């Protein structure tokens, strides 16, 4: 799998602020890009140390096109696994960055 342009921008920036629903209220949380290891595969994911509902984690993963990890769980975009987001597959030179 190749990274989407949006996912590549997020990885290059190192973080993103996303509007999420926590305890029935909208909040803007900062998610940082982290590298996680699963077996022999090292992959990128977005991380926050806050508690977020599983349905909200899934929505965020689908929206940004990257796995998302919170204090209470992890979610991948539909039809993907850790192998689809391998660190070795990311090549920032292959993307045109727009300001």
pLDDT in tens, 1-48: 567 888 889 998 999 999 999 888 999 999 999 999 988 889 999 999
Give the predicted TM-score (pTM) of the model: 0.82
- Residue 70 — φ and ψ, nearest 5°? -120, 180
45-77 pLDDT per residue, tens = 999 999 999 999 999 999 999 999 999 999 999
Long-range contacts of 61-67 (CB under 8 A, 24+ apart): 63/18, 64/6, 64/7, 64/10, 64/16, 64/18, 65/3, 65/4, 65/6, 65/7, 66/7, 66/10, 66/11, 67/36, 67/43
Listed residue (59, 44, 56) closest to 9, CA to CA: 44
Pairwise CA distance, residues 30 & 73, whole Å: 17
């Amino acid at each position: 799998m190749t990274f989407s342009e949006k996912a590549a921008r997020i990885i290059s920036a190192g973080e993103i602020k996303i509007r999420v629903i926590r305890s029935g209220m909208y909040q803007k949380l900062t998610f940082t890009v982290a590298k996680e290891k699963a077996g022999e595969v090292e992959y990128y994911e977005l991380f926050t140390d806050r508690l977020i509902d599983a349905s909200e984690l899934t929505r965020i993963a689908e929206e940004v096109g990257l796995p998302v990890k919170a204090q209470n769980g992890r979610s991948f975009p539909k039809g993907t696994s850790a192998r689809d987001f391998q660190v070795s597959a990311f090549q920032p030179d292959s993307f045109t960055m727009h300001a």
